[in-house]
Structure 1
Amino acid sequence: MIDLLFFAQLQEKVGSPKITIEANDISIKEIKEKFLAKYKMDHLLNEAMIAVNEEYSKEDAVVFSGDVVAFIPPVSGG
């Protein structure tokens, strides 16, 4: 099981701050394609920073059962 955390607009699109997926030994890119495509938020995900277990990562990072992946959209404001 891998926990996926969402913030700001991503959280609104998913409808929850967190979802758990049944997966192991899978890249972030594969997670986006297999589990997140149904939310139709590619444009937001492409701009989002990714953190695996609280360390920034890239889309090709491989995650395993027990890991936590956070998708953090860019922050703007004034």
Structure 2
Amino acid sequence: MNISERPPMPGPEAAIDYGHGEFRVVRPGAFVRCAVTGAPIRLDDLRYWSVEWQEAYVSPEAVQLRLRRAGRR
């Protein structure tokens, strides 16, 4: 089972402030959603995000797709 197949923990979606190398929880919750796929991401599993766009991503592939859609790759 990979990260995108795990259901989120019960609870509301969190609001996050994404910084360089770390993030800050603005509104507590159990998960955030991938900006590309809409897949829930547990906060413990959150590894990929954009500081510029303030978005979370479920995988490196989702990051690459976002960059292509923005015309950056």
Fold equivalence (TM over 0.5): no
Larger relative contact order (Cα-Cα within 8 Å, sequence gap ≥ 6): 1
Alignment TM-score, normalising by the size of structure 2: 0.28
Relative to its length, the structure with more helix (as a share) is 1
Alignment TM-score, normalising by the size of structure 1: 0.27
